Structure 1
């Protein structure tokens, strides 16, 4: 997962035995995609220790991931090649969500500044403030599309964590933001790197990967997140075998997280192992139909979309159409990313089978489903131009 997803985000803790039980409970929900429950748990944790700035960050982070999950953004498909996040429409938080996020970070920053006034070298306060700035920068990047504000916040947060590491070299977790920042900015197109120069930072992909690997090997609270990021990097850079190993490990740790099984299917597909890719989807469907914990809210249409998309990539458009039809029958149950892609894939498969009138109807549905998305723009193009097998092959080349 990118909650995997999110190669930008600052997930602050895995389920470690020395963590406060209320925070542990929140992160158990968090890593298993139960974001409403995670938010409720972190709110109780804040109430129990209102002067702890870290708990405000936990709460803000859960709100942010909840938004991403709802938008269908917590999958590595969203961060492989081409920086698709840069082109996606804004996420639309509810006013109450935005207020909870903003208020949590504002209070974290206020509390950490008060501690730093007493002791400028308070590493806990420096770390918490850096996380808050990183989360705010991530929100500006993904939700508000405010690139320069985002880079400024993330650069300021990175500097605070650099200071933590200077004061306490044993705090390997403080390297996580540096590694992510290096990798993310180093991966941006040139136009966006110019903004990085304006913010005083250039980025370095390889250095970022090396730093994150150190956190994965020696970190404490950020070790899981470092492993997740390394998995995302492996898939982004077309090393699915490495990503698969990490995904299998995460599956055993977070059994209620259905996105991990979808990720496993994609990893096997990238390796050319269609049978195991299909079996991973069979397992998702088995768990869904048995009402296994964590799978109740997963719509069957999401599984049908995954099957259709897999068959599309394996050059079986006729079989893919069957599954994509089922996925789009109730496309309103899908997240925006899956829904619009399902309509686009259906149109492309119909075109490949010479069913032009039906294909055009599917493209129109994609455009209506999420008008501002890249998929809708592609659908508009194919209204006037038949999607061909050569174009599909170019997509994988």
Structure 2
């Protein structure tokens, strides 16, 4: 879900940016990116990079798509994963692709070197500073989200923040630079103190309110950061249980990009979190129906919609339909091994809530068979011997 998008409302006279960000070919590439046609976006951005081989922002475009294509493959763009502090302490197994990891590192280094070359000529080159900071922020996202190397990721994010703060000092109208600074301010301000000590950043400070203020401006006026700024704001509002405000942003994004699977899914997630089961169920079913329409979503992870639907049905005590949805999610080809185990475990729990422990045991055994040394298997063994009661 997170990425860079062209703002339709950014004033050409009022906001400064690299001219390449406003080029028609760049807008066309981002249009593909925001319907999650990652391959289509990548080919267009690679053509822009070939036409501008010395411009670090062109390298950043390719890095951006490469990163988010991989995050989507790994099921790391579902905001549910980041809606609370469990992201920092929980276990979430992913299978890192070394080739993609090396490609992301190479692109980040290239953008950094290109920006440094420009800054040696003019240390106040705002475009080069912005591009260097953006490259740092994207690599930081990979380190934190995929490798869960929070200390290393935060150090890179600090460098990105410093670059973009300098951009704003040089040119307060370079609104895109407010996004990285705003995200950094909010995230650091929201980190538990014990976690800051753990990663050696106890002396680093942030402000959630200052971060949100910066994100509001980049959401409204950013040239290439409007969509990501709105997405980040939506996530932070969800984290704070401000569901109506988050939902308003989700609706706006889904209206702007109706063929983006994740924006449609997020509307359902927010209804669920807000406790509006009937609306959540209707929205999840709409996402599922649209996913089955050829070409409607260029990319999707249908299992996420089925899993959210199953959880919501379970909350509404619609147990048979919930089991069906969990099992649908478990056996979709794109379902990750971890999500499959979570689905089967939940199906077993629902069978126990229906007082059918024999069927529940079958699901628990399937969890164990799918990963005997996993957290889910440990829970399944417990429930095999003592039926799940909901507590």
Residue 99 and residue 387 in structure 1: after superposition, are their counterparts in 2 closer, same or farther (change >3 A)?
same
Matched residues, number:
380
TM-score (norm 2): 0.87
Contact 1:126 1:160 in 2 (8 A): yes
SS of residue paired to 1:333: coil
Partner secondary structure for residue 170 of structure 1: coil
1:174-189 to structure 2, matched below 5 A, reads 174-189=177-192
In the TM superposition, residue 381 of structure 1 has moved relative to its aligned partner by 4.9
Cross-structure match for 1:277: 280
The answer to whether 1:149 aligns with 2:141 is: no
- Structure 1 stretches of 5 or more lacking a match? 5-10, 392-397
2:30 to 12, 23, 27: 27
In structure 1, C-alpha distance between the alignment counterparts of 2:202 and 2:121, rounded to whole Å: 29
Which residue of structure 2 aligns with residue 7 of structure 1? none
Residue deviations 1:320-344 (CA, integer Å, cap 9, x gap):
112223333x244324564333222
Give the aligned partner of residue 220 of structure 1.
223
The residue number in structure 2 matching 1:318 is: 320
User: How has the CA–CA distance of structure 1 residues 19 and 338 changed in structure 2, closer, same or farther, with 3 Å as cutoff?
Assistant: farther
How far apart, CA to CA, are the structure 2 residues paired with 1:119 and 1:52? 14
1:12 aligns with 2:4: yes
Q: Which residue in 1 is equivalent to 2:348?
A: 347
Structure-to-structure mapping, 1:288-303, within 5 angstroms: 288-294=291-297, 298=300, 302-303=304-305
The equivalent position to 1:248 in structure 2, one of 251, 254, 273, is: 251
- Provide the rounded CA distance (Å) in 1 between the counterparts of 2:327 and 2:269: 21
Structure (1/2) with the larger helix percentage: 1
TM-score by length of 1: 0.86
The separation in 1 between residues aligned to 2:373 and 2:119, in whole angstroms, is 44
The match for 2:366 is 365
In terms of mean alpha carbon deviation, does 123-132 or 275-284 score higher? 275-284
> 2:164–2:180: 8 Å Cα contact kept in structure 1?
yes
- Structure 2 CA distance for aligned equivalents of residues 302 and 83 of structure 1: 18
Contact 2:4/2:225 (8 A) holds in 1: yes
Give the equivalent residue in structure 2 for 1:80. Answer: 83
CA contact (8 A) 2:56 2:112 kept: yes
Q: How does 1:127-206 map to 2 (within 5 A)?
A: 127-194=130-197, 198=201, 201-206=204-209
Give 1:8's aligned residue.
none
CA contact (8 A) 2:133 2:160 kept: yes
Q: Structure 1 residues 68, 365: closer, same or farther in 2, change over 3 A?
A: farther
1:112 equivalenced with 2:104 (yes/no): no
Q: Distance in 1 between matches of 2:144 and 2:301?
A: 29
Instruction: Say what the alpha-carbon RMSD is for the aligned residues.
Output: 2.6
Is residue 184–residue 205 contact of structure 1 (8 Å, CA) maintained in 2?
yes
Contact 1:304 1:326 in 2 (8 A): yes
Deviation at 1:250, TM superposition (A): 0.8
Per-residue CA shift, 1:244-278, capped at 9, x if unaligned? 11111111111211222222122222333333222
Which runs of 5 or more residues in structure 2 are unaligned? 11-20
Q: Write the distance in 1 (CA, Å) between the matches of 2:379 and 2:249.
A: 33
